[in-house]
Amino acid sequence: MRGLIALLAFVLVLVPVPAGAAEPPRTEFELTGAWTTEAGEQTYLRATGLPVTEIGRTAQGRPVQLVRVGPRSARTIVLFLCSQHGNEPAGREACLIRMRSLPRTSSVTYLFVPNANPDGRAANTRGNSDGVDINRDHLLLRTAEARAMAAVIRDWQPDVIHDLHEFGQSVPYYVKDVLWLWPRNLNVADGVHDLSETLSRSYVRPSVEAAGRTSGVYGIYVDPVTGEPVRQVAGDGQERILRNTGGLKHGMGLLVETNTSNTPAYRVESHLKALDGTQSFVQDNRAGIEAANAASRAARSGPVYFGGADNEAPDPSDVVAAPCGYVLTGAQYVEAQDELALHGITSQYLRGGDRIVPLKQEARPLVPLLLDGRADQPLLAARPVPQC
């Protein structure tokens, strides 16, 4: 009973309703303390009156949806991807709550994928209905869910990507209430990387800690007795994880995780405080975000990294001079063309039916990681060529 009272008080603080004003819609979680059901989510989305677009269908036929708050024409786009792991529901609830309170006419467009893994949420499983971890599929795009998100990133080109997760008792050495991390992949442009780290350290961290939460860098083993960081055990530079893939696609971003040992209301509010931090970051740094994004898209030179991270020096063999491009046979192109298109990668026809994917394009940071046999998990091994 005390938990329900606290939850209702938390809701009233979040959304004050002026006297005589129509009360805004509430999620089932806000009303009952139970996670919002699939049907309840659809009822709530209709009640908000916000534009909702179906961007994909899961293997079990559930829609993956995109909710837009703000104009289509805004120069700054912020994307929130909520609960990629179906057994991590607090991020989804925070997204549903937050979308209704954002300004609908502003210089920023906020996009939400409120339920990024509908089949997993229905089954309360980490993976989708095929048991695949969607957050390990943002490179090869084998799942309908990851394909839907890739299309959104390609079509909207978000400047900031905020990915909401949770962690549980399977990792007892994560002793904080909230963990956060920026893209670590070394192929992410310096400006995007640095602003992403600023977003985590200088905006999300103080926002959640001002609300009484403890927080820290995701993937760091913390001694449960001393509270001191010991070593890095997760959170590397793998390009297939959204935190890194988003950076490779020129979006400043971060992963935010809340601790499932806390109450549901505490976890949802923790995510809302982290969202506050991202919103403040966007308002304070729009010029810098725009400049870093443009510089990242315009970059056409520099080495390619097939290993390492911003906290781990790559092996010398993993640092190579960038080729001019990659030649795909006609058969390879047929095999890969859908994934290349979803990533926004362009190619050119060659005599004889082959195709060349030049590195001189906006998708440059991603191309070698997809098409070079030396990459960690390539889509295929195409032939690098020094001259196009």
Fold of 2-296: Aminopeptidase (3.40.630)
**Region 73-85: what's the mean pLDDT?**
96
Catalytic positions are 269
Whether residue 73 is predicted with pLDDT greater than 50 in this model: the reply is yes
224-252 pLDDT, tens per residue? 777 777 788 888 999 999 999 999 999 99
Whether residue 19 is predicted with pLDDT greater than 90 in this model: the reply is no
Q: 219 versus 34: which is more confidently predicted? A: 34
- pTM of the model as a whole: 0.93
Q: 121 versus 223: which is more confidently predicted? A: 121
Please check whether residue 305 is in contact with residue 314, taking contact to mean a CB–CB distance below 8 angstroms: yes
Whether residue 222 is predicted with pLDDT greater than 80 in this model: the reply is no
Residue 340 tokens read as 């290349």
Domain ranges of the chain: 2-296, 308-385
Distance CA 76, CA 294 (A): 12
Give pLDDT, residue 6.
Answer: 43
Give pLDDT, residue 174.
Answer: 81
Whether residue 35 is predicted with pLDDT greater than 50 in this model: the reply is yes
Averaged pLDDT of the chain: 93
107-162 pLDDT, tens per residue? 999 999 999 999 999 999 999 999 999 999 999 999 999 999 999 999 999 999 99
